Amino acid sequence: MNEEIDGMNKEEFRSIFKTELFKKMDKMIEEKKMSMENAILLLKHAGYLKVLKNIWILDFRNSSLNKRIEKMIFEEEKKKEGKNEWLLVELCECFTFLKDGVTLEEFPSVCVPCLLKAALRKEENEESQKEVEMALLALSDIGRWYIEQKLYLKEITEIIEHQQKHRNLTKLAYQSAWLFFIDRFYTTIFLKDMIVNELHFGREAARELEELTRCIDWKKKEEEMNKEEAKEKLTLTRWIETLNFYFLKCKLRNEELVELFSGISYVYRAAKGDNHRGIRSQCVCSLIHAAGDKVVRDEDLLRSGAISAVLEEIQRPTIVDKMAKESLLFFTNVSNRLKEKKKNEMEEVNRKATKKEILEKMEEEGYEDTITSFHEKQNFILGMCFHRSSFSFSDYFVDTGQNSFIYEKNNESRQISFSTLTWKDFHSPIKKT
């Protein structure tokens, strides 16, 4: 059964794990036609893949099987003697993996310490590390619920520090540990100093991004990848998603940002081609959030290669609407940054120098006018009026070598410069020739 689950796509997975299945399993357990042990093995494996592939299943939370597992968790936790610690871990994993939606108030106080204790196992054999990975993946799926620090801070810090010293966790386990910790920003933002300056999140994330990127054969389509490569790509995707939230929530300047932007740019360049457009889009989104963050310095984006990487995307002849729009959003944020004068005299000198260097680079690539023009019209292009126009980014984002595109209106074709584009042009029906 586990092998069959491994081969399912998202649609097949959702169609199988429905209310009917959970109801049938519960009935089989009640009639002793299925052992609880086998049910747990099946649910854990399904939950593991559900979280890894980012699939939502809403049918479980209201099922009788869920109620059975909830009851078993709290009954086992209340035992004074003869408590089965390993059964409790497995029940907590099942519940956490499949719970999508509302969580019981008592849930963190029981399941979080239980899962962290399982994740603290130091044995380096494959079986133990798989169980550690399972526990940390479950923790990473708890989301941004408020959890008291006393329930997790000491343990999650120990797990991360031990990994930095011994490097014995799997890639997915380490990413999951960080995701659980970063998600605590949602309710406990002052953790940022520990995460940034003591545990060196930027350095660690950049290293993981580059190592994972090198492990993947980017020439293959996703369906052509073997099981390990597919897992590594999913882990890499989870890192980028974590960074999106990190840049939105962590407003703390540190020297490791250049490393982090370099790591994102490395992934962005490696994942070329239409087969991996999703992960490239996530990379740009991370850079958009970073470029909009005031604690990020202009030179960080320049020195890291982030600006060059996105310029390369603009130059692709096969660029699509979504990527063009995201690239322009990134440069809109960069442009906004370069306009803001600094109060500190030295910072203002640095801003002018960086602005000059960035604009010269854009001019070299032939896109300074393009970015300036789109920046001036961003409220229309990216705003509420966008849906009223037939304008399509991929139709017109064509490098003619002259910062322009060709369009046709009233049976007349002509070449229009981005820098002379008017609002009237966008309101009129236009199409690419």
Mean pLDDT of the chain: 82
Q: Is residue 402 pLDDT above 80, yes or no? A: no
Q: 310: which 2 tokens?
A: 């996105």
How far apart, in whole angstroms, are the C-alpha atoms of residue 90 and residue 100?
A: 17
% of the chain exceeding 90 in pLDDT: 48
Identify the weakest region by mean pLDDT among 293-302, 316-325, 369-378: 369-378
Q: Is residue 422 pLDDT above 60, yes or no? A: no
pLDDT in tens, 250-283: 888 888 999 999 999 999 999 987 788 889 999 9
Are 358 and 298 in contact by the 8 Å Cβ rule? The answer is yes
How far apart, in whole angstroms, are the C-alpha atoms of residue 322 and residue 307?
A: 18
User: What is the pLDDT confidence band of residue 424, given thresholds at 50, 70 and 90?
Assistant: very low
Give start and end residues of each alpha helix (H) in 82-152.
85-98, 107-119, 126-140
Closest listed residue to residue 374, CA positions, set 320, 317, 410, 336 = 336
Cβ partners under 8 Å of residue 127, min gap 6: none
Average pLDDT on 216-228 reads 88
Q: Is residue 163 pLDDT above 90, yes or no? A: yes
How far apart, in whole angstroms, are the C-alpha atoms of residue 248 and residue 162?
A: 28
404: part of which helix (H) or strand (E)?
Answer: strand 404-409
- The SS3 assignment for 415 reads strand
pLDDT of residue 373: 53
pLDDT in tens, 176-203: 999 999 999 988 878 999 999 999 999 9
**Phi and psi at residue 69, in whole multiples of 5°?**
-70, -40
How crowded is the C-beta side of 255, counted as CA atoms within 13 Å?
1
Alpha carbon 244 to chain centroid, angstroms: 6
Closest listed residue to residue 191, CA positions, set 236, 237, 160 = 160
- Residue 419 gets which letter from DSSP? G
Strands 431-432 and 412-417, sheet pairing: unpaired
Average pLDDT on 365-388 reads 49
pLDDT in tens, 84-103: 999 999 999 999 999 876 66
How crowded is the C-beta side of 388, counted as CA atoms within 13 Å?
10
How far apart, in whole angstroms, are the C-alpha atoms of residue 196 and residue 136?
A: 20
209: part of which helix (H) or strand (E)?
Answer: helix 201-214
Which residue shows structure tokens 């809109």?
332
Q: 249: which 2 tokens?
A: 């929530």
Alpha carbon 96 to chain centroid, angstroms: 20
